[in-house]
Structure 1
Amino acid sequence: MKERGKAIRTAALHLFAEEGYEGASLSKIAGRVGIRKSSLYNHCSSKEDLFLSLVEEVYSRYIQELKKIVSGSTGTAEKKLYSTFIATTDFITREGTGRFYMHFLLFPPSELEEKVRTRFLSFEEETNQLLLPVLKKGIADREIRDSDPSILLHAFYCMIDGMSSQMFYYPALEAAQKREHAWGIFWRGIRHGKEQ
């Protein structure tokens, strides 16, 4: 039963990513798993319930990865921010998960837009709570120039968002080069020291 539930979630995630909320019917999800549509109701109450639970799952997976980077390391602010940048943009490129994330974030189903937006803002607050202390410590340690950490975090998010889009448009090698260039410019802009 547990394996069947996992197969349903995987199929639903891929179909939502490929065809959007409207295109991914419960019949198609069931067909991809090789079960009857009626059997899906043993695992979810509705398509909306399945979709929102996948939104929650994707956010939770990302937060767990971020916690490992930020909490599980004694590295510098530069190392933690760089690792976060790489992990986030890699997360976006994962088949299924990344496409689902980008699709529901940029184009949520109109009937679920408010719920998705509310959950995104809650998710962003969770990431703020993890990343702001990294920036504050970097400033206190004189690794990062004296700045408002919230403003630095806004710039960091914008870099991640921009690079996340680029990861879909360019071949892997070119995307990796762009990512390194973006990071280099960003870090030179916030690091402490006379040479900027």
Structure 2
Amino acid sequence: MSSQRLKEAALPLFAEQGYEGTALSEIAKAVGIKTPSIYAHFSSKEALFLEIYRDVMRHELVMLEEVAKERHGTMEAELRAFFYRVTDFGVDPDVKRFFQRAIFFPPQALAKQMREEMTTYEAMTSESIGAILSQKLDAAQKEKWIYVFYCLLDGLSLEHEIYDAQDFTKRRDAAWEALAALL
């Protein structure tokens, strides 16, 4: 049994049921061990959750860096690719759902620490977007665009859970059009 296997088993449970709704015994059962064996790998449920949270942030940053490095010809095409990639909630759905839950409903005992780490993650994401935006926008316009981007991203992450694929696609396309109008 490895720490990685425990994290792989815990991720979908935390994603679906949240931190409070997931018992260590469920994670242990998913990998075929007894609950106390988890403590050989993680000091607590909080430690397991935080390690998954950090893994997910790293995963998302790698994906964003890959998109930011792609060349699509124009700044607008690069931003469009970036926007559609981060709002593609069908790719790695457990990762996306875990991240959404962790951001919007962090465990109370970990909320402050997680928000601090999220601030670092957001700064790195903003840097990737800002590098693309610097081709055309001044600092104030760039900041405004990034703020609107995050608001739309947060809204779409919730709407993805509410609407069917066709309605979500319409909403995402409309969100992109509104964001592109700021360029």
Normalised TM-score (structure 1) = 0.85
Partner amino acid, structure 1, of 2:22: A
Show structure 1 runs of 5+ residues with no match. 141-145, 192-196
Q: Which structure has the higher relative contact order (CA within 8 Å, separation 6+)?
A: 2
Partners of 1:185 and 1:111 lie apart in 2 by 38
What is the match of residue 174 of structure 2? 181
Structure 1 runs, 4 residues or longer, greater than 3 Å off: 91-94
Partners of 2:91 and 2:59 lie apart in 1 by 14
- % identical aligned pairs: 33
How many pairs are equivalent? 183
Partners of 1:42 and 1:64 lie apart in 2 by 29
What is the match of residue 163 of structure 1? 156
Partners of 1:71 and 1:124 lie apart in 2 by 18
1:190 aligns with 2:162: no
1:93-172 matches, cutoff 5 A: 94-139=92-137, 148-172=141-165
What is the match of residue 55 of structure 2? 57
- Larger of the two Rg values belongs to structure: 1
Provide the aligned C-alpha RMSD in A.
2.0
What is the match of residue 80 of structure 1? 78
Partner amino acid, structure 2, of 1:183: W
What is the match of residue 194 of structure 1? none
Show structure 2 runs of 5+ residues with no match. none
Partners of 2:126 and 2:52 lie apart in 1 by 22
* CA displacement, residues 78-112 of structure 1 (integer Å, 9 cap, x when unaligned): 12211121111114764321211111111111110
Normalised TM-score (structure 2) = 0.91
Partners of 2:87 and 2:70 lie apart in 1 by 20
Partners of 1:74 and 1:85 lie apart in 2 by 13
Matched position secondary structure for 1:148: helix
